[in-house]
Amino acid sequence: MELRGMRYHPIDIETSVIRTHKSITECAVFTWTNLLVVVVELDGSEHEALDLVPLVTNVVLEEHYLIVGVVVVVDIGVIPINSRGEKQRMHLRDGFLADQLDPIYVAYNM
């Protein structure tokens, strides 16, 4: 993944995000224009969604020196996985751009 002229491994960012809270079951990241988008699956109540945003943005900033542009909190099973168990980040990106994710909460940091 390339962002602002630098290359990043999505799995590194995703692993950091998953470790931040016990209610985050899965995470996927992708770029949209010059923004980093973080999609997290929430296994918990909807009121926890708002609490996740500062945790996610802080861990990405502290561990990877990146500013998160958008945090999307979704239900379990929204992040597409192929038959080999790999995340399909481009399908997720397409769903985000087409407004098809049906998010619990979306936070824009622009």
How many residues comprise the chain?
110
Q: Tell me the CATH architecture of domain 2-108.
A: 2-Layer Sandwich (3.30)
pLDDT single digits (tens) 1-48: 888 888 999 999 999 999 999 999 999 999 998 899 999 999 988 888
What confidence score (pLDDT) does residue 3 get? 87
Q: What is the pTM of this model?
A: 0.93
What confidence score (pLDDT) does residue 110 get? 66
Residue extents of the structural domains in the chain: 2-108
Contacts for 97 with CB less than 8 Å, ≥ 6 apart: 32
Proportion of the chain above pLDDT 70, given as a percent: 99
Cα–Cα distance measured from residue 42 to residue 75, given in angstroms and rounded to the nearest whole number: 6
What confidence score (pLDDT) does residue 47 get? 84
Q: Average per-residue pLDDT in the chain?
A: 94
